[in-house]
Amino acid sequence: MNLPLQAWSALQAEYLKEAAQIWNSILDPKAQPLPLPDRRFAAPEWSGNRSAGFLAAMYLLNARTLLKMAESFEADEKTRQRIRFSVQQWIDASSPSNFLALNPEVQRRALETGGESIAQGLQHLLRDLKQGHMSQTDESQFEVGRNVATTEGSVVFENHLFQLIEYKPLTAEVYEHPLLIVPPCINKFYILDLQPENSLARYAVEQGLRVFMVSWRNADDSMGRLDWDDYVEDACIRAIQLVQEISGSPKLNTLGFCVGGTLLASALSVLAARGEKPASSVTLLTAFLDFRNTGVLDVFVDEAAVHLREMSIGAQSPAGGGLLRGQELAATFSFLRPNDLVWNYVVGNYLKGQTPPPFDLLYWNSDSTNLPGPMYCWYLRNAYLENKLKEPGALTVCGAPLDFGRIDAPAFIYGSREDHIVPWDGAYASVPLLSGDKRFVLGASGHIAGVINPPGKKKRSYWTNAALPAEAADWLAGATEHPGSWWPEWSAWLEPQAGRRVPAPKAPGSARHPPIEAAPGRYVKQKA
């Protein structure tokens, strides 16, 4: 691994030229303020102070140069990817905006408040240390079941892994084939039911669907030996059977989000191997079936890292299992976008003493969940490291060879264009693995904001293309952009798969599965 001499010489010359321009601009009293094209330095205190402006301009020059050096290294792609990631982390952490002694905006605020902002920042820091995570929003403004996860419904089943919620119909008639939603088990389900105006669950109910939601239990030490098969058999397959039984419909529409989509597809493959095909349709939202392009997350995955996990919290550990703590997982995802999800709050919360504004999505983001170690390690090795899930028969799940090709129901596959967790071409890679009629839709924005894009907001856009070429780039080249939310597109696609309309049930559950408690239930309120 090395930096070619020619590349080094060119970088050095470019750096010296730009550094001289910055220095000369500082020395010239008639010169315009230095351009600082970065929102961290947008406050007038940076451009209006020559010393601060010089510091910020040199930081940005150093950052650009370091990243160009990282890009120029001659090494295998995995090593280059890790170098880029590490350099970016160091660059973001070392920004002068992150330090009291170097940030003129913070200093001005401290002077104006007579030091009160510093005292408030220390209080925020102590509070966050006590609660075990950095506040990204004013968490005191939210409560699960009061102003998030508010769609009316009932818990109609629970076991050691999940509760099943049935939502109350909002229409006189419902489609005969109900909808089962499997959210990611690495987060709480209410990302799909934040508040009435941005709830995908409520939107589905308003369209006349009879909607059921899996609410995962937040894993504790009693669950430390559970593996992927347990989540497929005792949660996903069990939920499918329950919805069939409660609704009286042998067919149901299914939706899986993120790893919930991977679990759902695994369950439907297992059922197909058993001769059962309950899915009238399959919707996969920002989900991997083929893990060939996992984006920036790939920097964390290699044989040594996976083996270490297996020996510490996996089935090979001395205890035969353990837990992946939710805070560790949340911190990993935050550092994938450190300026937005880490350093922004260091400056705002601790240096400026500000309380972050209330934001339901960030409240959900901080409500982390634990995972059983063996389940997580199986997923890490077979999906992220070895990418075996896509290979028919390469893995056995619940006693059946895994083959997504057995899933021949109509499929709606969604990806988000700026997704850094499931790159959209990684979501598109699911297309050739499924056997039924397929539709791929691409939304704007990222992993969460792209999915949670209600029509009423009239925000963003989405792309469609009836053709499904082998390469994702070719699909996008022929796609048509539409303004607004993709939700109505999905709803219109789902309608033919939902069957005829029948009278809405007068009560939730069934004689065998009566309501246990009101939604959202106890499991979603358990803290990691």
Domain spans, the chain: 5-97, 153-324+370-525
44-67 tens-digit pLDDT: 999 999 999 999 999 999 999 999
Q: Which residues pair with 481 in a beta bridge?
A: 463
pLDDT value at 5 more than 80: no
Average pLDDT over residues 216-234: 97
Q: Which residue has the tokens 């001289």?
A: 20
Average pLDDT over residues 248-257: 98
Which pLDDT does position 350 carry in this prediction? 97
Cβ contacts of 126 within 8 Å, gap of 6 or more: none
pLDDT value at 455 more than 60: yes
pLDDT value at 278 more than 60: yes
Q: Which residue has the tokens 């290699």?
A: 302
Q: Find out whether 72 and 7 touch, Cβ atoms under 8 Å.
A: yes
Which pLDDT does position 38 carry in this prediction? 95
Which pLDDT does position 397 carry in this prediction? 98
507 token code pair: 């009560």
Question: What gap in Å lies between CA 426 and CA 184, rounded to an integer?
Answer: 17
Q: Which of 185, 236, 258, 377 is catalytic?
A: 258
Say what the alpha-carbon torsion angle 444, 92, 86, 303 is, to the nearest 10 degrees.
-50
Which pLDDT does position 75 carry in this prediction? 85
Which pLDDT does position 4 carry in this prediction? 67
For 242, 249, 279, the CA distances from 434, given in Å and listed in that order, are 25, 23, 13
Which pLDDT does position 375 carry in this prediction? 98
Which pLDDT does position 452 carry in this prediction? 97
Q: Is 258 marked active-site?
A: yes
320-339 tens-digit pLDDT: 999 999 989 888 888 889 99
Average pLDDT over residues 200-204: 98
- Residue 2: pLDDT band (50, 70, 90) is low
Average pLDDT over residues 275-297: 96
pTM comes to: 0.94
Cβ contacts of 528 within 8 Å, gap of 6 or more: 218, 325, 326, 327, 368, 369, 370
Question: What gap in Å lies between CA 186 and CA 261, rounded to an integer?
Answer: 12
The residue with greater pLDDT, 153 or 31, is 153
- Residue 3: pLDDT band (50, 70, 90) is low
What is the chain's length? 528
pLDDT value at 7 more than 80: no
**Bond preceding residue 520 cis, omega within 30 of 0:** yes
Average pLDDT over residues 103-131: 96
**Cβ atoms < 10 Å from Cβ of 335:** 16
Which pLDDT does position 71 carry in this prediction? 86
Name the CATH code of domain 153-324+370-525 (choices 3.30.420.10, 3.90.600.10, 3.40.50.1820, 1.10.1370.30). 3.40.50.1820
Cβ contacts of 71 within 8 Å, gap of 6 or more: 80, 84
Side-chain half-sphere exposure of 316, counting CA atoms within 13 A: 10
**Cβ atoms < 10 Å from Cβ of 57:** 25
- Residue 243: pLDDT band (50, 70, 90) is very high
- Residue 129: pLDDT band (50, 70, 90) is very high
For 68, 72, 87, the CA distances from 6, given in Å and listed in that order, are 13, 10, 21
For 44, 183, 184, 223, 308, the CA distances from 313, given in Å and listed in that order, are 50, 24, 20, 12, 9
The residue with greater pLDDT, 35 or 232, is 232
